[in-house]
Structure 1
Amino acid sequence: MKFFSFLVVLSFIFWACEKNESTAPEQGDGLSAYYPFNGNAKDESGNGNDGVVNGAVLVKDRFGNDSSAFYLNGIADYIEFPQTFIFHEEGDGSFFFWINHDSVGHESIFWTRGDDTDKNRFNIYTTYENKLFGVDYRSPSGERHKIFGVDTELNTWVFIGITRSGNTYSLYVNGTKISDFTDSNPDLPTYTGKWFCGKRHNFMYNGAVDDIRIYNRALTEQEINNLYHEGNWDES
């Protein structure tokens, strides 16, 4: 009887653990690049798109693990990635990352071309406008398409997700959909080449970044919520 009771308790423990553990999308399920920043900027998707670190220093991640995120000082630090940015390409896609930014300012978190020319690129940024986080792109001719703007918190880890399905972009903050935007007259950047985390002349990003994921499909709301809770982060 005691042995039977022990098995019942043990089964309940395993069931509870499985229930509380979020399942993120499988590594190969459309994942084109993954940068967990566990001591380096290697692409752990297996696709070989390794980042190159310029000055950024390793710091604790949101779980308190040492050397598991990068901090950029807003002066000269940046990380360079070799492949064409996902939203420059036609078709569906998803882009996710964690940020912990220090101050309100106009800073480019991600700038998706290899120089400072303000056209034919995406810009994922913060501004002075009440801690605003924003996304826009400029066409090859320089026409601006503003996609999103939303307030985010300072000095805390925030999970940002951007998906595109057809011509509709969706913004997620901490696993929850915030808004949709349909680009009625798309004129996507045609630039092919490297892009940056933190680097744009006079608009360098000051803060920490971690767990960049890029998919060649639009993830579902449930998949995105699972990514946010990966590692049992913020589980209630």
Structure 2
Amino acid sequence: MKYSKNIFCLVIFLRTCLGSNIFERRNVQIKQPFTENILLRKLKILNRLICFTQCIECNQCHYVLFNSSICHFSSSFIFEKINSKKINLINYWPIENGETKDLVASKDLYESVNVTFTQDRFGNNNSALSFHYGYIRAPKGIYFQNEFTVLAWIKLKEYVLWQKFFDFGNGKAISNVVVSLSNDYSNRNSFHIFNLTEYRISTINELVLDEWVHLGFVLENGKMSIFKNGSRDAFIDTGEQYPVDIVDREHCYFGKSNWDNSNAVFDCDDIKFFDRALTETEIQNENIYGNH
């Protein structure tokens, strides 16, 4: 979850000491200056993750405001602590401070080619990935169940034939789950599942270049959906109750294809994998608030 510097922000996972706890933002804001009865501590910290860690280690701390270089702790109940398992979040790559860590399952991204860090949609440096005909790998693993949701912020930079946001599979047309950002010559966004048969859904319109957009890809009861900025943009019923293989996938890429397609040209941020189908309202909340 990311916000501009004057907005309340906190999603923190600390598996080492709190077992993947998160703090979920509620629709309450406290304006500065803070009153003495709720302010616990004020620290000058440039790294938000260090600021959040300090709050976790303080039992009385219930929320954090990061404003420029000042870290404020308060005892108010603005954020409710929730275990990530309760919201079925299984992977989260926030892309923060030049790192590609998975804060839930420790499946950190690695082996990047032509990928750099860039500004996110709020202008924070080193807080998004920029692919220039490049890719980065995710470790092998089981990423998809009979239902799932994938969310991310994407800024497409060029229309490249069949460029992939991600392709997780075991080779060409072997248990692949794929999202193409510009598929055929129509440059439309598409979502594919390969399980002996190919199941495919495409949007009507292409993505606008150089514009941040929140995308969602959902499988539920054999039905595939694509969401754009919180609204359902495409839908298909595959006719199969379980169209996806629940297997370890060895070849897992962001920006690269298991086919002989060109690598991708786009920026991305805040990548989340859930092992359930989020509702349209939940996806809208993720788009607006960064949580549901």
Fold match by TM threshold 0.5: yes
Q: 1:144 to 1:24 in 2, by over 3 A?
A: farther
Provide the residue aligned with 1:94 in structure 2. Answer: 149
In the superposition, the TM-score normalised over structure 1's length comes to: 0.77
Contact 1:97 1:159 in 2 (8 A): yes
- Structure 1: any 5+ residue segments left out of the alignment? 1-14
Match of 2:198 among 107, 131, 144: 144
2:116 to 57, 60, 68: 57
| Superimposed CA distance per residue, residues 176-228 of structure 1 (whole angstroms, 9 cap, x where no aligned partner) | 12232211035434652241101124321111111110011111222111111
Q: Deviations over 1:71-101 (max 9, x none)?
A: 1111xx21111143533x3x22110111111
Is contact 1:109-1:204 (8 Å) kept?
no
Match of 1:169 among 221, 224, 246: 224
Distance 2:93 2:270 in 1: 5
| Matched AA of 1:147 | I
Q: Distance in 2 between matches of 1:218 and 1:209?
A: 22
The one of the two structures with greater contact order (alpha-carbon pairs below 8 A, sep at least 6) is 1
Q: Which residue of 2 aligns with 1:118?
A: 173
- Counterpart of 2:16 in structure 1 is none
**Structure-2 separation of matches of 1:136 and 1:98:** 19
Q: Matched residues in 2 for 1:149 and 1:225: separation?
A: 18
- The equivalent residue for 1:182 is 237
Contact 2:193 2:243 in 1 (8 A): no
Tell me the SS of whatever aligns to 1:44.
coil
Is the 1:121–1:191 Cα contact (8 Å) retained in structure 2?
Answer: no
1:27-59 Cα deviation digits (max 9, x unpaired): 6111100001112110012x2111114131000
Partner-residue secondary structure (3-state), 1:226: helix
**Residue correspondences, number:** 206
Greater fraction helix: 1
Conservation of the 8 A alpha-carbon contact between 1:124 and 1:135: yes
| Aligned ranges 1:143-222 → 2 under 5 Å | 143-151=197-205, 152-185=207-240, 186-189=242-245, 191-194=247-250, 195-200=252-257, 201-222=260-281
Distance 1:93 1:184, change over 3 A: same
Deviation at 1:127, TM superposition (A): 2.5
Counterpart contact for 2:203–2:233, Cα < 8 Å: no
Deviates more, 1:223-232 or 1:162-171: 223-232
Deviation at 1:155, TM superposition (A): 1.0
Task: Specify the code of the residue in structure 2 equivalent to 1:146.
Answer: R
Aligned-CA RMSD value: 2.6
Alpha carbons 2:203, 2:234 under 8 Å: kept: no
1: CA distance, partners of 2:279 / 2:183: 29
Q: Measure the CA separation in 2 of the matches of 1:120 and 1:158.
A: 28
Post-superposition Cα deviations, 1:92-136, rounded to whole Å, max 9, x if no partner, equal 211011111111122122111254x23321221112534311111
Identity of matched residues, %:
22
Residue type of the partner of 1:113? G
